[in-house]
Every structure is written in structure tokens, then in C-alpha cells.
Amino acid sequence: MDKKMTVKDAELRLEQMKNGKIPPKEVPTLANPMYAKAYDGFMKHGTTCNTLREGSDGEGGYLVPDEFERRIVQAMAEKNVMRKLGTVMETERTMTFPIGKGVGFAEWIPEEGEIPIVAAEFDEVKLGAHKVATSIRVSDELLEDSVFDLEEFIIKEFAKRIGEAEEAAFIHGDGIAKPLGIIHQLEREVITEKAGKISTDDLLDLQHAIPTRYRKDAVFLMHDSTLRELFKLRTGEGQYIWYENPKKNIPLAIFSHRVITCPSMPTIESGKPPILFGDFKHFVIGDRKHRRIKRLNEVHAQQGQVAYIMSQRVDAKLLDRNAVAALKVK
């Protein structure tokens, strides 16, 4: 027979939980300090225990602890501009977002007049999941070195590789086994007046290609080489139109809108969109819970190395296609 817990027992247990002496059952496994400690042992020495069982992916890998994952996501944001500009959300399944078609309106109705019922039309945007993975090798000597910070090394290396792969897909991915890039989701675009060149008028037209309500938080997104060409634009008197502000902490701006450079953006080339302008908060990134890391002890044992494989599932969609416009080169 189960022993009944008195009020005093419950208060004592609650106090122990607060002090970390008893992991509360309500705390998810991946946030449990005991799981994090066991996971550290698995990563460094390949040891497994019952504590890791709930985080097993069934394929020899384990879900990363919450704090470990938080640091990975933070590091990826430094390698992926779209994670900084967009809205990142955690998902457990495919999400469907209803998107209204057209613009709704209101009418003035006379007293006792009939209010017309107009059926709203919607499109659906699905935020699914695509798998991206990478692997690294670490020598046995490094793993045995007490000074070597394996966790920090893995976070930096995986964040760099996966962050860069994500950014490229979020910008120009073809949607086949990877997210569909934002440049393939846009409906608003401006074409340059001259072939192969961008003028100040083109940028002004691009700024006004999105409705006013989106401009407040809008930014220009472009490759660094495109920005270099914009710096070369001059007035009729031969003066440069734009220049970098020498004062620190003052962001570069065009028409009072910040300029963000991104190595994954297309360069100035006929038929390509080298500049995007808009409010990128409407670009939603869905991170599927949770990231996984697998340790392979035997594959490279003869070389005295251990391999680590990290994988994650992610998707991204522009939920409001009025929010961002592209400048396409003639």
C-alpha cells in the first residue's frame, strides 16, 4: 500500500526540490541536472546509464539537455542572419497557419439595414520539418585532455555548420528536402531601371513596394558586395550618396532603414534579387523539438578518433507576403 503524504511531508519535499536535492517529476527530463550530468558522461566517455533512457532517440543518440540546446540555438543565431531577423518558435508537429486572401473592408449601414455577410477566403501555409545534420571527429588525446572543453567545441562547430546551412536554405532553398527560401515565397518585387545596375530610384521604389504599416521595422538585406556597389553611387556633383558612419554603435542605414549584410544573399546579377526590404518578423522559423547528438565510438577507432553526429529538424515560412519585397536586377 502506498504511504500517504502528510502536509508536512509535502512541504518538506517541496523545499528539497527547491534546493535541488530531489528532481521534481514535473521538470522535463532534458531540464533535469541529473540528465545533464549523465549526458556529459556520454559525450566525453561514451558511458550510458538509466538516466539517459528517457532522452534516447532509439538510434544510438540522445536528445541534448535544455541548457546545452539553448546555447546551440544562441550560437546559431550568430551564424544565421535570418534567426536574428525572423521569429523563432518551437514546434512539436506540422503547424498550419490560415492566411487571409485579399483585404477585408467595412461598410456604413443605415439604421435597421442588413449587414452583408462576406465569406472570408484563406490560404494555408504549413510549417513542417526538414532534417539537417553534420558530423565532426575528435581525437582520443583531446578527449582525455582535462583542459579541452568538449561541450564548447561541439557547440561552436555545430552552430557554425548548421547555422550556415540553415541561412542558405532560408534565403534561396529550393524546398526539396530543405526549407523553401524566402526569395521564392515573395509576391512583391521591383525591377531595376537599368540592366545590371542599381540606382537610388530603384531603392526608393523598393522601399515603397510594401505597405506603410510594414516599413516602421523594415530593414534592407543584401550581400556585402552589393553594399559595396551602393557605396559607389554618387550625386550629380560627384559626391558619394552614402557612407559608413565613423561613430561606433550607429548602424548603417539607407533612407533611415538599417542595412543587414548576409553572405547567402544573391549578388548583383541579371534576373537575381540582390536586395530584400521588409519586416522580417513575419518570416517564421519552426524548430522541431529536440536536437540530437550521436556518438560513434567504433567507426574511426583505428584512427584514434571519436565521431559525433548532430541533427535537427527545422522549417521556415513567410507568413505575410506583403511584409517583404525584392529588388530584381533587369
More confident of the two residues 327 and 120: 327
Residue pair 72/155 in contact by the 8 Å Cβ criterion: yes
Q: Class of 29-92+127-177+285-318 per CATH? A: alpha beta
The arithmetic mean of pLDDT across residues 274-302, rounded, is: 90
Instruction: Note the Cα 9 to chain centre separation in Å.
Output: 45
The answer to pTM > 0.75 is yes
d(CA 220, CA 257): 7
Peptide bond into 257 cis (omega under 30): no
Q: How many CB atoms lie within 10 A of CB 216?
A: 8
**What is the spatial distance between Cα 182 and Cα 324, in angstroms, rounded to a whole number?**
9
Q: How confident is the model at residue 112 (pLDDT cuts 50, 70, 90)?
A: confident
pLDDT at 242: 76
The answer to whether residues 324 and 318 touch, using CB atoms and an 8 Å cutoff, is: yes
Looking up cell 583505428 gives 302
Strand, helix or coil at 115? coil
Q: Where in the chain is the domain with CATH 3.30.2400?
A: 29-92+127-177+285-318
CA gap 79, 74 in Å, rounded: 9
Question: Largest alpha-carbon pair distance within the chain?
Answer: 93
Q: Mind listing the pLDDT tens digit for each residue in 47-98?
A: 888 777 777 776 667 888 888 888 998 999 899 999 999 999 988 889 888 7
Residue range 218-257, pLDDT digits in tens: 999 999 999 999 999 887 788 887 766 666 666 788 898 9
Calculate the average pLDDT of the chain. 85
Structure confidence at residue 138 (pLDDT)? 92
Q: Do 277 and 327 touch, CB atoms closer than 8 A? A: yes
Residues of the chain with CATH 3.30.2320: 186-283+320-328
pLDDT digits (tens, 9 = 90+) for 45-60: 888 887 777 777 766 6
The domain defined by 186-283+320-328 folds into hypothetical protein PF0899 fold (3.30.2320)
